[in-house]
Amino acid sequence: MGSRFFGVCLAALALACGEPTFAQRVEADRVQQAIDAFHGMTAMPDYRVPAALMRRAYAIAVIPRVQRVSFIVGIQRGRGVLVTRGSDGTWSRPLFISLAGGSVGWQAGVQSADLILFFRTQGSVDEILHGGSTLGVSASIAAGAVGREASAVTDADLQAEVYSYSRTRGIFAGVAVQGGSLSIDFDANAAYYGKEISSANEVLAGTGLPDPPTAVRLRQEISAYEKALK
């Protein structure tokens, strides 16, 4: 707790001086990795997600470089960010989250992949905000459609609460994920925003928090992708 408090104090001092700390730069790099992973979708028009899913998404989680544990299936701890859509349609500041355990439908020989989750309901996100969520247990999850299949998806077809995708080796595809536990990374949030974060809603509301350049770029990337799908 002492080291965490010391780190937050350093971050607060750096903000006052206008110079980011090492911890802030590390977390900013983490957001940039999420931006790069999400941008991978826009670079492959034939593999885009359904426009209906993007339109109905309440939240999006991007977890870059999720590592494979076992030969067949498995997830090592992954770290990423989650944003939610406000009532005005704009996206929130990034909330840092962690992924642990569970299994994913890996391609043969792949050791690392970017994971992108689309949450359709506020309830599925609230599970994370109130202590953690287990994919496939707390919230129903399905592999997302891509390509020609995606173009045929309508609002009525979206039955699961969460749809999952992976991006690796230049391929973006729907992927089966089960049992992974998502939780808030409070230390990362404190380092990035330069103050102790006691509630996820502080970040998602954004009141009294800085708006780092990488946070702005992430929102712009998602908004641009959404417009491209319309």
Q: pLDDT of 201-214, one tens digit each? A: 999 999 899 999 99
Torsion of CA 28, 33, 84, 66, to 10 degrees: -120
Instruction: Count CB-CB contacts under 10 A for residue 74.
Output: 14
**Span 23-79, pLDDT tens digits:** 789 999 999 999 999 998 777 777 788 999 999 999 999 999 887 666 555 566 789
pLDDT tens for each residue of 84-117: 999 999 999 999 999 987 777 666 666 778 999 9
Burial of 48 (0-12, 13-18, 19+ CB in 10 A): buried
Determine how β-strand 112-119 pairs with β-strand 181-184: unpaired
Domain ranges in the chain?
2-229
Q: What per-residue confidence (pLDDT) applies to 9? A: 54
> How high is the mean pLDDT of the chain?
83
More confident site: 75 or 159: 159
**Lookup: tokens for 152:** 């045929």
- pTM here? 0.85
Q: Poorest-confidence range of 97-101, 126-130, 190-194? A: 126-130
Q: What dihedral angle (degrees, nearest 10) is formed by the CA atoms of 120, 45, 82, 34?
A: 170
